[in-house]
Amino acid sequence: MTDQATKIALGEAVIGYVFQDKALIWEAIQAPGHLNERLALVGDAAMRLFLHKQSYGRGLSKGQSSIRHDGIANNAHLAEVGNSMQFPTFINKNISHAGGISEKAMAATVEAVIGAAFLDGGLNAVQTVIVKLGLQ
């Protein structure tokens, strides 16, 4: 198994979702840098949609839903989740960057993985990933 295939398989195991289009998860796990920014934007929007839809189903007000989203989807929390779920074991790091992955880059990678799942499998895939990562 290649290094790329190994990292993809590890990532899929961690997030509980198997991609049809492996290029999406490979793009998502490129860090640090700007390589996964577009997917992070999609992931941020998909996570927002999922969390607000879930809040609606729970009968939460607009304000309660926003507070809930902000508590879950902030960079510090996303980075904490990424680190605790062992994202560094499968993130494809740029060899010119020594050391660990910054909080911002880790949060963006979590968002990018969610975005990749959305593009690959829609809101059901987002739900699978968010539940597996405990982001609800």
Q: For residue 121, what are the domain limits?
A: 3-133
CATH number, residue 119? 1.10.1520.10
In the predicted structure, residue 129 carries a pLDDT above the cut 80: yes
| pLDDT tens, position by position, 9-34 | 999 999 999 999 999 999 999 976 67
Instruction: Please write the tens of the pLDDT for every residue from 91-101.
Output: 998 765 667 88
In the chain, the number of structural domains is 1
In this prediction, residue 93 carries a pLDDT of 84
State the first-to-last Cα distance of the chain, in angstroms, to the nearest integer: 34
Q: What is the pLDDT of residue 96?
A: 59
* pTM of this prediction exceeds 0.85: yes
